Structure 1
Amino acid sequence: MYQQVLDPVADSLGWSSLVAALPLLVLFALLGGLRMRAWLASLIALAAALLIAVWTYGMPVGQAVLAGTEGAAFGFFPILWIVINAIWVYNLTVRTGHFDVLRRSFAQVSDDRRIQAILIAFSFGALMEALAGFGTPVAVTSVMLIALGFEPLKAAVLALTANTAPVAFGAMATPILTLGKVTAIDSDTLGAMVGRQTPILAVFVPLVLVVIADGRRGLREAWGAAALCGAAFGIAQYATANFVSVPLADVVAALASALAIVLLVRLRPAAGARPAVVAGGAADEPTPEFEARAAGGVGAGRGEVVRAYAPYGIIIAVFVVCQIDTVKDLLDRATRTFDWPGLDLVGASGKPLGLVTFTFNYLTTPGTQMLVAGALTMAALRVGPGAALRAYGATLRQLRWAILTVMAVLALAFVMNASGQTITLGTWMAGAGGSFALISPILGWLGTAVTGSDTSSNSLFGALQITAAHKADLPAVLMAASNSSGGVLGKMVSPQNLAIAAAAVGLDGREGDIFRRVIAWSLVFLAGMCVLSALQSTAVLAWMVP
């Protein structure tokens, strides 16, 4: 058995925090500074975390290794299980030529690449986040942007940056429901509070996307469409989270923002529109690949357009059906929960840690539901079993380095969590007193940056946020919500999501380049969220706290 120690270095939280932060500093320095491949940087950072856990925190070697193996397993299931099947469905559409049909259909909505970036990365990505989460929107929207002519690096950056505002309500509000469980605060109240923070962020995200897509000229010429999209999303997310249903917040917001953009394009074509270049030609010009597929029977007729959209309609239908309470309860009967073999951990207070419990929810996980959607897609696109298996094998080869990276990163996260390194950092930050309201979102950002999941961040730091709030006489619901709202901004710099984005766009080994493109936006958004949280804790914006 191992009992966590929070201040192993000179009995000081400050000094212990400096040591505990070393694995993260190593990871981001190797990625962003030395441009090392993500899988190698993650393995080195994992080794650093293991050394600190054993030599500094006194964790038995066996317990440290077992914690790492549980993290690696969690990285594969459910996270990679979702991504692999999502990319497989995409590869099916590519092999049949229907993705090219879909690309042309999106291009017909608008040939302005700024509008396309907003519509796909932000609105469609938010819908995928609402239904599946866990990296799925990054994987799917990045390849869709490439099909529309965006450079791979830019497509990855757009997909990661857009995957912010919807994250707290992702996977049918799983992060907020989890936060409610660990804090004993009603999830509807927490959802209402988060719904008074992330909608403000949503207003600015599309504006940043047009800057990424087309620089200052993009902002000058497309700011109206971006502002309209962000405002529609923010208003819908706020209204749904506060007055309708927390789990449906992203679904309604995504559809509202997409509808706003489509109506705007129909009523007033964007000024100064720039056609998206696709395979050397404008978006309205057929590519050689498309012409070849058209000759083979995959044309742009109405029936083929319907088939091109069918996989995404099937995905939405499958996920919606699986969220029906009766169906969800039926599927949940197959869930198995067990303690990780040999892992025996207790917290600093002497209470057993839930970290040792592994949940194998193989029917309710979005990955299995995506696999079912893929099987239905095979029928819709008339793909035979042999071709589907070949596509699955190609998907595994495509994601091989991402698989290694994600498993290593989650092993790193579990070792840091099990040994107490992460809690050391959080406890030290929680000692900030009244100014904790300013840094509360940073704690959530840190948790998501390490684990790649806002849900995991809420599980890790939710209770700590409540404890700090009580000590500093701050609103508990605000601090808990700020953890989730700050956590969404760590998603884009998480090595897990960087690896998924790089693999999806064919830039394995260039995760560091992507990281350098998104880190500034992540920190700028985080600073804004910190200011908002601080103001909401004072008389200035206290009226926003339910």
Structure 2
Amino acid sequence: MSDLETLGAWTQNYTPIADNIWISGLVALLPILLFLACLVWLKLKGWVAASLTVGLSAIIALVVYQMPFNMILMSFMQGFLTGLWPIAWIIIAAIFLYKIAVKTGYFEILKQSVMAVTPDQRLQVILIAFCFGAFLEGAIGFGGPVAITAALLVGLGLRPLYAAGLCMIANTAPVAFGAVGIPIIALGNAVGVSSHDIAGMVGRMLPPLTLFVPFFIVFLMSGFKGVKETFPAVFVASVSFAGVQYWSSNYLGPELPDIISAIVSIAVTSIFLKFWQPKNIYTGDTNHNSNIAKAEKTEQHSVGTIFLAWMPFILLVIAIGLWNLPAFKALFGSDGVLKDTNILFAMHGLHNQVMQVAPLYPDPTPLGATWNWQLIQNSGTAILLAAILSIFILRARVNMVVEAASETLKEMFIPIVTIGLVVAFAFIAKNSGQAATMGIALSHTGSLFPFFSPFIGWIGVFLTGSDTSANLLFGPLQQATAKVLNAQEVLFLAANTVGGVVGKMISPQSIAIACAAVGLVGKESDLFRFTLKYSIGFVIFIGIWTAFIAYIIPGIIIHS
């Protein structure tokens, strides 16, 4: 008996049924199919769909994959706790900050200042959901960008479902590099490939998607006529973003593309709109003069008042910037004065007891299972600090703060449970080997693999809600398949990342966060149906684009 067996280690089996990858893959797919059925056809609430899905996944892990019950239970706990912290904590802090701005009345002034840049609702969505959302994705990630931008758009007058859906689609372009390049850095470390090379390849694959998304958003809002009416401004926004994204990813690395691209795009587009506006102003209703009248009211406020209105979000940016400084991060290192505020819990009976084997890893590799309770280092605490400072700067009364806090907690209770359940499902699927089974099945498509490679990342993000997690889960598989096919591994690693970005808009975790942000708790099925068809279309395009690169224009592939 080996030492690992003595310690109670359990080895993943990726073909548990008749040693057949396709049959096993179909069984592993059943929880996802159940989730789709619950939301698309049965129209169940998100927490109900998540409960049934995690239950079925647990049964498959126990009966089919023969995973010990205690490991399944600890996988559930690991996932649920991760859903609470850091994910739910970031969303709670973001919604609380937003509500402080609303309760004090300054959010109305902020809305008017946005309308002063452009009264056209389509261009407001581009500036907030696409540009500002990309900045937040580059800074914090974890669903915070969708929560904040969707709330802003609802405040500007968009219907909640519409606002959430558009923000989910807009969030695709920057996900690969958020937050501060972690998805790509983590992938590079996991597979031993330069993160700079992976970032550069991702930057070469993303431009078609980045250029398309802003125009597609406008198309969804007002059709081809709207695209024609807003073309100059949308062109400026998309080209400036895509150009800087390409340059920064190829020459600076993975950390800054989202942040730099967003800042440049916001600045260039805002300046352009000072000299050009659409002839037909779109407000989403029949009164096309309403937004113009509201925009004119902004002139009644002083520059200082408008600056105060933006202060919560300025503080948010400053706080997040501080949290990402190397000197600040060093405070939490092994010798840092705040190291004890990061409390690491190893999941008993699970941590390093699950062995990942070929083809994920050439040699048996233990899977770590920890939960890191970062009391201060978590980005949610940075956002909470911004909210607390906003309370004093905006002179919010005690009753306003109490109302904002109580409403946030009340509205977030069900979403928190939903987020915890879907992340728990993700961890059971990952730890038991179900997720790997699905990825390995796609890797058996041979010469068609360049087309299917992005689908693996897409499935990974659907399961985990995170491009980082999807890269860690399937990066080694992509690398192994590249070696078997004698292909450039950096292409498939990048494809995993790029495919993952369009899986974000249908991830149960992201759906729950977006619905919570706009007050649509219980309506997750509506939002899922809105984004599903677009996500499928996008990943098919990325698959075709990856195959085109592999077979037609291989010269653009970075040789690592």
Which of 32, 43, 68 in structure 2 is aligned with 1:35? 43
1:104 to 2:128 alignment: no
Give the direction of change, closer, same or farther, for the CA distance of 1:114–1:26 in structure 2 (3 Å limit).
Answer: same
Contact 1:156 1:501 in 2 (8 A): yes
Q: Which residue of 2 aligns with 1:346?
A: 355
Contact 1:113 1:213 in 2 (8 A): no
Q: CA deviation at 1:312?
A: 1.1
Q: CA deviation at 1:346?
A: 2.0
Residue 403 of structure 1 aligns to which amino acid in structure 2? Answer: I
Which of 377, 380, 383 in structure 2 is aligned with 1:364? 377
Q: CA deviation at 1:321?
A: 1.8
Distance in 2 of aligned mates of 1:477 and 1:339: 33
Which of 450, 457, 460 in structure 1 is aligned with 2:470? 457
Deviation readout 1:477-525 (Å, 9 max, x if unpaired): 1111111111000000011111111111111111111111111211121
Q: For structure 1, which runs of at least 5 residues remain unmatched after alignment?
A: none
Which of 422, 426, 429 in structure 2 is aligned with 1:416? 429
Contact 2:81 2:371 in 1 (8 A): no
Contact 1:57 1:419 in 2 (8 A): yes
Distance in 2 of aligned mates of 1:23 and 1:281: 49
User: What is the DSSP-based 3-state SS (H/G/I as helix, E as strand, rest coil) of the residue aligned with 1:270?
Assistant: coil
Which of 67, 76, 80 in structure 2 is aligned with 1:68? 76
Contact 1:104 1:284 in 2 (8 A): no
Which of 437, 441, 446 in structure 2 is aligned with 1:428? 441
1:306 to 2:307 alignment: yes
Contact 2:177 2:257 in 1 (8 A): yes
Distance in 2 of aligned mates of 1:384 and 1:131: 30
Q: Which residue of 1 aligns with 2:546?
A: 533
Q: CA deviation at 1:276?
A: 5.5
Contact 1:276 1:283 in 2 (8 A): no
Contact 1:148 1:278 in 2 (8 A): no
Identify which range, 326-335 or 193-202, moves more after superposition: 326-335
Give the direction of change, closer, same or farther, for the CA distance of 1:169–1:216 in structure 2 (3 Å limit).
Answer: same
| 1:72-83 pair list within 5 angstroms | 72-83=80-91
| 1:247-326 pair list within 5 angstroms | 247-275=255-283, 282-285=290-293, 300-326=301-327
Q: CA deviation at 1:280?
A: 11
User: What is the DSSP-based 3-state SS (H/G/I as helix, E as strand, rest coil) of the residue aligned with 1:341?
Assistant: coil
Distance in 1 of aligned mates of 2:535 and 2:14: 28
Identify which range, 510-519 or 45-54, moves more after superposition: 510-519
Deviation readout 1:20-65 (Å, 9 max, x if unpaired): 0000110112111221111100000011101111111111222111
Deviation readout 1:130-161 (Å, 9 max, x if unpaired): 11111111111111111111111111111100
Which of 181, 185, 189 in structure 2 is aligned with 1:181? 189
Deviation readout 1:267-288 (Å, 9 max, x if unpaired): 121122224669998224469x
Deviation readout 1:140-193 (Å, 9 max, x if unpaired): 111111111111111111110000010011111111111111111111111111
Distance in 1 of aligned mates of 2:17 and 2:402: 53
Distance in 1 of aligned mates of 2:64 and 2:534: 34
Which of 484, 492, 495 in structure 1 is aligned with 2:497? 484
Distance in 2 of aligned mates of 1:22 and 1:81: 31
User: What is the DSSP-based 3-state SS (H/G/I as helix, E as strand, rest coil) of the residue aligned with 2:503?
Assistant: helix
User: What is the DSSP-based 3-state SS (H/G/I as helix, E as strand, rest coil) of the residue aligned with 1:68?
Assistant: helix
Give the direction of change, closer, same or farther, for the CA distance of 1:277–1:314 in structure 2 (3 Å limit).
Answer: farther
Residue 344 of structure 2 aligns to which amino acid in structure 1? Answer: T
Distance in 2 of aligned mates of 1:409 and 1:461: 19
Residue 97 of structure 2 aligns to which amino acid in structure 1? Answer: V
Which of 237, 242, 246 in structure 1 is aligned with 2:254? 246
Identify which range, 121-130 or 534-543, moves more after superposition: 534-543
Give the direction of change, closer, same or farther, for the CA distance of 1:69–1:172 in structure 2 (3 Å limit).
Answer: same
Deviation readout 1:60-114 (Å, 9 max, x if unpaired): 2221111111100011111111111111100110111111111111011111111
Distance in 2 of aligned mates of 1:390 and 1:69: 32
Q: Which residue of 1 aligns with 2:97?
A: 89
Query: TM-score, structure 2 length as denominator?
Result: 0.92
Q: CA deviation at 1:359?
A: 2.6
Q: Which residue of 1 aligns with 2:156?
A: 148
User: What is the DSSP-based 3-state SS (H/G/I as helix, E as strand, rest coil) of the residue aligned with 2:291?
Assistant: coil
Q: Which residue of 2 aligns with 1:328?
A: 329
Contact 1:117 1:213 in 2 (8 A): no
Contact 2:104 2:400 in 1 (8 A): no
Contact 2:121 2:284 in 1 (8 A): yes
| 1:374-413 pair list within 5 angstroms | 374-384=387-397, 387-413=400-426
Q: CA deviation at 1:216?
A: 2.9
| 1:429-448 pair list within 5 angstroms | 429-448=442-461
Residue 90 of structure 1 aligns to which amino acid in structure 2? Answer: Y
Distance in 2 of aligned mates of 1:509 and 1:494: 16
Query: TM-score, structure 1 length as denominator?
Result: 0.94
Residue 105 of structure 1 aligns to which amino acid in structure 2? Answer: S
Distance in 2 of aligned mates of 1:438 and 1:171: 27
Contact 1:148 1:276 in 2 (8 A): no
Q: CA deviation at 1:544?
A: 3.9
The alignment of Structure 1 onto Structure 2 pairs a total of residues equal to: 537
Residue 417 of structure 1 aligns to which amino acid in structure 2? Answer: K
Which of 510, 520, 523 in structure 2 is aligned with 1:510? 523
Distance in 2 of aligned mates of 1:116 and 1:473: 47
1:520 to 2:533 alignment: yes
Contact 1:113 1:275 in 2 (8 A): yes
Distance in 2 of aligned mates of 1:504 and 1:27: 22
Residue 446 of structure 2 aligns to which amino acid in structure 1? Answer: G
Q: CA deviation at 1:304?
A: 2.1
Q: CA deviation at 1:342?
A: 2.7
Which of 21, 25, 29 in structure 2 is aligned with 1:17? 25
Contact 2:185 2:254 in 1 (8 A): no
Residue 433 of structure 1 aligns to which amino acid in structure 2? Answer: G
Contact 2:120 2:281 in 1 (8 A): yes
Give the direction of change, closer, same or farther, for the CA distance of 1:280–1:502 in structure 2 (3 Å limit).
Answer: farther
Deviation readout 1:331-356 (Å, 9 max, x if unpaired): 34423434212323222468353341
Give the direction of change, closer, same or farther, for the CA distance of 1:533–1:286 in structure 2 (3 Å limit).
Answer: closer
Q: CA deviation at 1:385?
A: 5.7
Which of 498, 508, 511 in structure 2 is aligned with 1:498? 511
Deviation readout 1:192-247 (Å, 9 max, x if unpaired): 11111123211000011101222232123223322221111110001111113421
Q: For structure 2, which runs of at least 5 residues remain unmatched after alignment?
A: 1-7
Q: CA deviation at 1:389?
A: 4.2
User: What is the DSSP-based 3-state SS (H/G/I as helix, E as strand, rest coil) of the residue aligned with 1:509?
Assistant: coil
Give the direction of change, closer, same or farther, for the CA distance of 1:122–1:545 in structure 2 (3 Å limit).
Answer: same
Distance in 2 of aligned mates of 1:275 and 1:67: 47
Which of 220, 236, 243 in structure 1 is aligned with 2:244? 236
Residue 356 of structure 2 aligns to which amino acid in structure 1? Answer: G
